[in-house]
Every structure is written in structure tokens, then in C-alpha cells.
Structure 1
Amino acid sequence: MIWRKTAAPETPLADITLLLEGTYPFVRGGVSSWVHQIISGLPQYRFSLIFLGGDRSHYGEQQYELPENVVHLECHYLMDPLVESKPKARKGNRAAFDTQRKLHNQLRNKAPVPKGVFSEIFQSLGRKGGISKEDFLYSEESWKVIDESYNKYCTDPSFIDYFWTIKIMHGPLFRIAEIARNIPPTRAVHAVSTGYAGLMGAMLKETRGIPYILTEHGIYTKERKIDLSQAAWIKDVTDKVSTNLNDDLGYIRKLWIRFFESLGRMSYQMADPIISLYIGNQQRQLADGAEPARTHIIPNGIDPGRFEGALAARPEETPMVMGLVGRVVPIKDIKTFIRAMRAVYEVIPNVEGWIVGPEEEDPVYVKECRELVSSLGLENCVKFLGFQNVNDILPKLGLMVLTSISEALPLVILEANAAGLPCLATDVGACRELIEGGTAEDRRLGSSGAVVPIADPEATARAATRLLLDKQRWQAASTAGLARVKQFYTLDSMYDSYQNIYDTALSAENREN
């Protein structure tokens, strides 16, 4: 799907092209909310949107009305068939596959990719003179590369599994290269993750000289590692599906993880600036190969005024309601929230737990969560409310709870604080910083809730009951959170930072032209 506004032919179609993998405008969540904020809050720039999805059946209707300054939207689904033609024997371009070997050797050694190698591969990927889609799928040279790598590196006993993993893993790169060659004119690109979107930004920087900005909310490679360590669709006979990233994993599972780590390193090599939301993620980027001078921290922000109504609507007595606002997916660890509710229910019989968020992304996991509620006898206590207007929900909650196993800087904590609602969160991402404060000045405001270990229902339940039943503790947390968000996490500060980033990129583009 491609949608475009009419643009004057003598000017670039867009100032900034956002590269969006599996998010805005088709999936709701923190990242999508942030994208919508950036576009709406910086109306002086024209935005083009490139949406990259996996299987097109996983995405439904558009979830956001596009702001007036969006001039282009196109959607691509990376799991669509790569070619429609029947297989046909072919030799393949030996020189092009040799260059591919050089790239793979650099990536295996975690070394920077020489610019000549990077440019040569991605300028010609999917074209005659390089590695065409047909050559990748059917040629003798492609078979040789896979056979050599299997014999030299693979410890998995199944060549068939290895063969199809390589085909499935690399197939989307051809579509990425084609999209990059055909995007409408733009003055700069801004990827909102590494992965395939980040790789496209790197391609555009290297092959077309377009300034490339990268923002990571969560660290993509870390989140993919979590997903892949648990993914049941990887049939790896030498490992066990695990929630512990330190467990031994099979070769195929590790191969997928190394693939996304490689995409991340290539993104870091080409992007300037490389933006994270807080110091912990910046340190992770540095450990993964980002150049220190190009890394920056820009926290998320919200408009506290938007939540004045929710703050005013808060009842005098604390509602005995624990709310989890987020997608019903494994990375949010909804099951720990449900198990914690069982323990809280033993102490506070009139407590309720509300799970507020979309359920379309992982129907199997949603079913498991509902079954867990039933098995624990919590049908009258735990409610699945689906997507709701957060302003309507916040005054009805007594505590915001995040049991995620991975987060960046979750907007839902800032929104809850702006509505005077204390928060309880796992010790991931910037959650401790948001609740207890980052700088010394920030910490003097006090704690706005509690921080608990990952996947610990008992600790979650103990912290929740203390906050819900201790009115003085609850009020102190409410006051601290409201002061923190007004002082350190406003939209105006975030907008000013990104305006400076965009103006710098557009100035660089003008100098190069």
C-alpha cells in the first residue's frame, strides 16, 4: 500500500523519512505513541513513513489518523514471497558471492564493515551484476556458500534446517534493498530501531549519502534475543526453549541472534546521531559497537496538562485496583502480574486487576493468560479490558503496575505520574530512574512507587499491598511522581532536542548537495 499527498515537484517530498518496523501507524504502544508525538509536535517538518511488517496477516486496520504534515506512507511486508517464478537452474555471480563472504567474515569477527564492501553489496543486491533474488534462491554459487558455511561453522545436525534458516533470514534483505532504492525523495532518514529498519537507514546513508538518524527506545538486539530464546517456531534439536538468556541455546537459535546483532552493528556504524532514552541503554549501545561521540540521550516526554482532567477526577479514597497498561505479549510478562494478583487477593479480597491493552499481536499468549486467570480462580478479580483511553482509566486505578522483562523508558509511567498515580515496575530499562530519580536533584523528590525484580510475583504482591494499604506512603509517591514528570520529562524539552537533531541533519544534507 502506498499513500501520498501531492507535493511540489521542485522540492523534496519529505524533510524526514521515518523507518518504522512493526509499529506506527498499525500497532499501538509506547513507540507508536512517541512517533505520533514527534510528527504532531514538529509540524514545521514534512514526514514520509515507511512501514515494515513481517507477515501481513498480523496487521489490521490503521490505528492512528495521520497528522497533516505526513506527506507519504508506504507499507511493505517482509515475509511476502520473494519471487513468484518457478525455480530454474543458474550459475550465479561468483564475484558477488565472494564479496558476500567478505562481509560475513567481518560480521563474524564483530569488526566494522569496510565501506567499499558494504556499498558494493547493497548497491547491487537484487540486481544484475550483483546477487539477484533468483541467484540467491536457486544458483550454484548460493548453494556453495551455504554448504561451505554449514560444514565450517554449523554444529546443528540438520542441513535442511540450516539451509532454510539462511533462506528465510536473508530473504527480506532483498526487499529492503529494493524499498531503499525506490523511496521518494527525502532530505534525511530516521530509523526508530535497528533491525531491518536500521539496516535500511544504513543502506541509504552508504549508497545515497542521505543523513541517517537512529533512535532506540528499547535495545532491538536485546529484545530480539529475548524473543528468539523463547520462540517455539525455531525447531532447534540441540537446545531447549528458555526464559534464561544464559542457558545454552542451539546453533540455529544462536544464528538468528547473531544475525540481528550484525544488523545492529551495521546500523551503529552508519548512523549519526545514535539516540537512546537513558544512560543504561546508551551503555548497551556502546558495548554493541556504537561510537561514543555519536551517542546521545533524549528522554521521552509528555504534556502534563493532558492529564489534568484525570488528576482532578481521582477519588479521595484509593481505589483497590491494580492496572497493567500495555500489549498482552510475553515481553510484558502478563503472567507474573496475574500470579501477583492471586497473592494480593489473599490480603485485599476486594482488589481488582485490570489488564488494559490490545490483544491482537499474540493470540496464543492471550489464551494462556486467560487460562491462568481461570486456573487461579481469579475470574471475578482480573479483567481483560482491551485497548482503552488511558485518561479514562487512570483515575479508576490505585496503582499502575509494569511486570515487563524488558522496557526502555515507558510512557505509561510518566502518564500515570502526571495523573497522580503511583507506579510499581520491574527493574528494567529506565523504570528505576523514573520511580526513584536519576540525578541527585531528581532523587530528592522521593520515590513515586516501588521497583521489584523481574518475574517475581511474591515481591510484586508485597510491594503492591504496601502501597495500596498505606495511605501516607501512597500520597507521598503520588506527590513525588507528579513533581518529577513536570520537572524532568516534558514534551517541550523532547521537541527542542529533536528539532536540533533534525536541523543539524538537514544542514548537513544542504552542505553535501
Structure 2
Amino acid sequence: MRICLIAEGSYPYVTGGVSSWIHGLMSSMKEHEFIIYAIGAETKQKGKFKYDLPSNLVEIKEIFLDEYLFEKKKWGKRYNLSSQQKESLISLLSSNHIVNWNDLFDLIRSKEFTSVGEFLTSKDYFDLVEHLGKNEYSQVPFTELFWTISSMLLPLLSTIRHEIPQADIYHAVSTGYAGVIGALAKHLHNKPLLLTEHGIYSREREEEIIKADWVKGYFKDLWINYFYTLSGSIYTAADQVITLFNRNKEIEVELGCPEEKIRIIPNGVEITDYQDLKSIPDDGVIRIGAIVRVVPIKDIKTMIQSFALVEKEIPNVELYIMGPVEEDPTYYNECLRMVDEMGIKHIIFTGMVQIKDYLGRIDFFLLTSISEGQPLAILEGLACAKPFVCTNVGGCKELLMGGPDDRYGQAGFITPVMHYEEIANNILKLCKDQKLREQFGQSGFERVKVNYKRNEFISSYRQLYQLLGGE
């Protein structure tokens, strides 16, 4: 069977998280061939893969959201769109319309659309923005509206025009642009479509836009509605939607995904992979670990603020932030300046490392994200019987506290997002109480050993592929 995995902003350009999940899935199913349809942000990423690709990965199709910058265009063309075609385009940007995605796909991929850039400099596009300005955004300066909508549509329309490789199953690992490509693949090839949603993509984009300086206040709702609209495309088209825990399922239903499509398959780890690790040094130093990419959504700045309070009270403490730093160099440099300006002595940014070289030496772990799915980093830590201090995002609470019928007990502390003082207080509790660390760690280990088995995770997807692909 040939399976096309559609990934946005992750594999094979970024390590950890969803990328590790994709790599592990392919590596565990040697009986199938895989295609990666990789959607990257910038063309400069082309060919810069962070993984040794598995032998059953037979093709990587790369597309980039900035490709439109290199298109030639001519101002003022007239496309003579029909009223139905105009409505399809308006529906993308209107909060009062339901998008007919198949009509939109046919329009954007038609012979008339030789260049996306040319369409967005056409008289028809001008008329479209004028209509929206008069009917929905009358208080917004027209010029700003024109260029804002252009920046929204350019990457989407360019993405829709790409060819989709032939496969037996299409499997998107997020909504957003990846979800649109999945819906397009279903429309073009009429093959089964599967979605696995780790975090809730549209909610994550909403959080980013609310905080973003580059989006003016009166455009924030426009951008937020747009990303919810994109995500709706695959909720409608997918044959099956997989999520990792019950709260995500509830949110998907709220966002319009039919409940009967949704199935929960949690992530898993192999406990035996984490035996015989290096032990904690007997030197009196408390070592805290964070397995995390240094990017804004992981909120490293709150982590730094929390640790600053801890270091003032406990001098023999170290924080190891383990993960790539090159994904957002500006943010990484801001974090370094913050550490320096606050006079923090014992934060170590390790960059990319072999996590198993550190896991056994860490006393407990820290995660301060503002959004998560079901973090593999937590499963890895708990597989080593290490407790956590985590923000209350995604499936973190369920991993540390268990569900309604859980019998294993607490495996760490859950805190509000960005509440650095409460995070620091919980870190201090674990620093000062070795027995509590051991108790929490054992509880987490038992929960993961029983409820989050890697072989069950792989088996569930193997069965699902066989069911959908008919092989």
C-alpha cells in the first residue's frame, strides 16, 4: 500500500513532536510505501532534511508557502468570473458563508488561473475586495484590506495549484494548509482521506494571531476566521479523524467535525527503550530538563522567568533546555538576552542532543507551552519515571493526573499557562522533596506502561490503513 502523509511545518525540516511521530510511524511499517507531501514556510528550506529518511519513504514532494514571490505577473487582467465562482472566492473570507471547496478547487486549478499572482493583480480580484469592503469591512481602510487579503490568499491559492502524487490513502497530520491539500487529494483522486490532529491547529493559530504585533487589531478576526475556515475543509472531506485524547475530540466537535468520524488513538512509547540509562549523579545538584523546540508556542520566556525565581532560592539547580534553537533565531536570541539580563547562572541551551544521554541524569522535567497535543516529551520522561511540571494545555493534564478511571495517581503538577510564579512554586516543591519526585515518577511510569504502549499505537494505525485502503 502507498500512503501519502501530508505535513505542514514539520517533517522533514523540523525535529521532535509531530516530526518524530511521522518518522516513527513510517519506520514501524516497512510493509507499506510512504510519500511525504511536505509544506514548508520558505523556499530556502528546500532539501534541508533533519532526518535519515527510512527506506520505505519513496518520494518527498516539497512545496513552500512563499513560492508566489517568484511568479511573474501582469496587472489588470479580467477573468470574467461567473457569479458562482465569485461566491466561492468570497466564501473563503466571509464569516457568513460556507465554502464549497470542490468548486473552489476546480476554479483555482482551471486553465484561466495560469498565475496566482496575476489573479491577485486582476480587476476581478479588485472587485472581490471591493465587495468585501462594502459589505463586511466598511470601517477598514481599503488599501490595507486589499493587501491583507492578498497576503492571505497568495499561499493558499498557490498551494491548491500543485499536483498531488498518486496514493492509496492520503493522511494529513494537521488541518490548515495540510488539511486543504488532503481535501484536494480526496477531490482529485477519490481515495480515502485520514486526518490525525495532534493539537488543534486553528486554536493554535488564533493564539498566535491574538499576540501578534504584525496583525492590526481590526484584522485579527479576519485572520482567525480564515484559519478556522481552512481547517473546516478536511473535517468535511475526511473519512476518519483521529485525535489523541478526549478533550481534543470535544473541541473538534465544537468546530464542526462530525462526532461519528472521530476516533481516539493515543501516542505510545516502548518502555524497554528507556532502560539502562545513565543515573542521576550523586553531587547534590538538582537537574531539571525541558525537551522542547525553542519557539514562541513553547513559551520558553515563561520557563526562564520561573527558573529565575527558583535559582534565587536554590543555588544548586540547573535547567537543561534540550532541543533545536535554529527554527526561530530571533526568539532564541531574545531568550538568551533575557537570561543574561536577569542574571541567571544555570540555564544551559544544549541544542539538538541525543535525549537518551540526558534522560536518566535529570531529576524532573518542565514544559511551559501555550499549546500542545499529547507531547511525546512527556511520555518519554514518564517512561523513565521522571515527574513533570506542565502547563494545562492539550493532553498534559490527562498524562500527569489520569482520566476518570485512573488508578495510578499524580505524576507531577499542572499549572495555568504563563503563570511563572505558580510554575516556580511547583518546581521548588519537587526540588526540595526527593520522595515526592520518586512517588510522582513511579505513578507516571505505571500509567505509561499500561495505557500508552507503542505497539498498540502502531497496531491501531496498521489496522486503520488496512481498513481504509482495502489491503
TM-score by length of 1: 0.87
How far apart, in 1, do the equivalents of 2:71 and 2:29 lie? Answer: 42
Confirm or deny that 1:399 pairs with 2:334: no
Given that 1:318 and 1:468 are in contact with CA atoms closer than 8 Å, whether structure 2 keeps it comes out as no
Q: Match for residue 41 of structure 1?
A: 28
Residues 131, 162 of structure 1: alpha-carbon distance in 2 compared, 3 angstrom cutoff: farther
Confirm or deny that 1:467 pairs with 2:430: yes
Given that 1:135 and 1:142 are in contact with CA atoms closer than 8 Å, whether structure 2 keeps it comes out as no
Shift, 1:435, TM fit: 0.6
Letter in 2 for 1:279: N
Q: Match for residue 99 of structure 1?
A: 85
Shift, 1:107, TM fit: 7.2
Q: Match for residue 172 of structure 2?
A: 191
How far apart, in 1, do the equivalents of 2:353 and 2:370 lie? Answer: 23
Letter in 2 for 1:469: K
Identity among equivalent positions (%) equals 35
SS at match of 2:239: coil
- Equivalent residues in 2 for 1:258-277 (5 A)? 258-277=225-244
Given that 2:75 and 2:118 are in contact with CA atoms closer than 8 Å, whether structure 1 keeps it comes out as no
SS at match of 2:210: helix
Shift, 1:506, TM fit: 0.4
Given that 2:91 and 2:98 are in contact with CA atoms closer than 8 Å, whether structure 1 keeps it comes out as no
Letter in 1 for 2:44: S
Shift, 1:232, TM fit: 2.6
Q: Match for residue 162 of structure 1?
A: 145
Match of 1:172 among 143, 155, 161: 155
Q: Match for residue 452 of structure 1?
A: 415
Given that 1:177 and 1:200 are in contact with CA atoms closer than 8 Å, whether structure 2 keeps it comes out as yes
Given that 1:79 and 1:172 are in contact with CA atoms closer than 8 Å, whether structure 2 keeps it comes out as yes
| Per-residue CA distance 1:250-286 (angstroms, 9 max, x = gap) | 2222211111100111110111211111011111110
In structure 2, stretches of 5+ residues that fail to align are none
Q: Match for residue 145 of structure 1?
A: 128
Residues 135, 382 of structure 1: alpha-carbon distance in 2 compared, 3 angstrom cutoff: closer
4+ residue runs over 6 A deviation: none
How far apart, in 2, do the equivalents of 1:155 and 1:329 lie? Answer: 36
Residues 91, 327 of structure 1: alpha-carbon distance in 2 compared, 3 angstrom cutoff: same
Q: Match for residue 382 of structure 1?
A: 347
Given that 2:13 and 2:45 are in contact with CA atoms closer than 8 Å, whether structure 1 keeps it comes out as no
Residues 52, 483 of structure 1: alpha-carbon distance in 2 compared, 3 angstrom cutoff: same
Match of 2:44 among 44, 53, 57: 57
Q: Match for residue 89 of structure 1?
A: 76
How far apart, in 2, do the equivalents of 1:39 and 1:373 lie? Answer: 39
Confirm or deny that 1:306 pairs with 2:292: no
Given that 2:294 and 2:324 are in contact with CA atoms closer than 8 Å, whether structure 1 keeps it comes out as yes
Confirm or deny that 1:22 pairs with 2:5: no
How far apart, in 2, do the equivalents of 1:321 and 1:59 lie? Answer: 38
How far apart, in 1, do the equivalents of 2:437 and 2:76 lie? Answer: 71
Letter in 2 for 1:184: P
Confirm or deny that 1:499 pairs with 2:462: yes
In structure 1, stretches of 5+ residues that fail to align are 1-13, 237-249
How far apart, in 1, do the equivalents of 2:196 and 2:343 lie? Answer: 43
Residues 134, 354 of structure 1: alpha-carbon distance in 2 compared, 3 angstrom cutoff: closer
Match of 1:424 among 359, 371, 389: 389
Letter in 2 for 1:423: F
Shift, 1:155, TM fit: 4.9
SS at match of 1:190: strand
TM-score by length of 2: 0.95
Shift, 1:313, TM fit: 2.9
Shifted more, 427-436 versus 359-368: the winner is: 359-368
Residues 155, 462 of structure 1: alpha-carbon distance in 2 compared, 3 angstrom cutoff: farther
How far apart, in 1, do the equivalents of 2:359 and 2:41 lie? Answer: 33
SS at match of 1:225: helix
Residues 39, 255 of structure 1: alpha-carbon distance in 2 compared, 3 angstrom cutoff: same
How far apart, in 2, do the equivalents of 1:51 and 1:172 lie? Answer: 14
SS at match of 1:214: strand
Q: In the comparison of the two structures, how many residue pairs are matched?
A: 471
Given that 2:298 and 2:371 are in contact with CA atoms closer than 8 Å, whether structure 1 keeps it comes out as yes
